[in-house]
């Protein structure tokens, strides 16, 4: 069943009406949404994006480390299969740049800047809170503070 339309009701709720005529309420709208802005996904979907991409990021890091070091290495600071910086990065990209799919140049530039800043500030905060550097790119050309 494909969505047919979204209808705003006066009481601040939003209804989704399907082609078969069934409508259901999806919850109260925020002031921001009432002013005409809308999110591309629900809060639950953003939570799913976070966990899916945090897991995919962890998996890629582990596979890369396993091939590089010839042994398993649990990447990340959590005791589990998640790297939150990847999940946060994906959620930020969806929130801030989801509407730029038609303009790939600005999508690329925005994604590059946003994820670089996220990685830089995450690295700085983790070093400050935990007293050690969790990743270091100082040996790479064009690095930024060793974090990016």
What are the φ/ψ torsions at residue 10 (nearest 5 degrees)? -65, -30
Cα 56 versus chain centre, distance: 12
> What confidence score (pLDDT) does residue 140 get?
85
User: Is the pLDDT assigned to residue 143 strictly greater than 80?
Assistant: yes
> What confidence score (pLDDT) does residue 2 get?
46
Report the side by side order of strands in the sheet with 3-8: 3-8, 13-18, 23-28
Which of the four pLDDT bands, split at 50, 70 and 90, describes residue 13?
low
Q: Taking each helix axis as running N to C, give the angle between helix 84-97 and helix 43-69, from 0 to 180 degrees, rounded to the nearest 10.
A: 130
Q: Across the chain, what does the average pLDDT equal?
A: 78
Q: Taking each helix axis as running N to C, give the angle between helix 84-97 and helix 104-130, from 0 to 180 degrees, rounded to the nearest 10.
A: 140
> What confidence score (pLDDT) does residue 75 get?
75
Which of the four pLDDT bands, split at 50, 70 and 90, describes residue 35?
low
pTM score, whole prediction: 0.68
Which of the four pLDDT bands, split at 50, 70 and 90, describes residue 51?
very high
């Amino acid at each position: 069943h494909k969505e047919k339309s979204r209808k705003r009701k006066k009481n601040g709720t939003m209804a989704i009406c399907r082609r078969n005529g069934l409508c259901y309420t999806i919850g109260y709208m925020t002031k921001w949404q009432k002013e005409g802005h809308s999110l591309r996904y629900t809060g639950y979907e953003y939570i799913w994006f976070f966990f899916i991409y945090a897991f995919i990021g962890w998996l890629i890091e582990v596979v890369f480390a396993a091939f590089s070091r010839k042994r398993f290495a649990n990447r990340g600071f959590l005791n589990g299969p998640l790297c939150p910086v990847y999940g946060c990065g994906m959620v930020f990209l969806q929130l801030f740049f989801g509407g730029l799919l038609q303009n790939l140049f600005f999508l690329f530039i925005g994604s590059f800047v946003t994820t670089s800043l996220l990685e830089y500030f995450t690295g700085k905060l983790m070093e400050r809170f935990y007293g050690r550097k969790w990743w270091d790119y100082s040996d790479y050309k064009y690095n930024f503070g060793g974090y990016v």
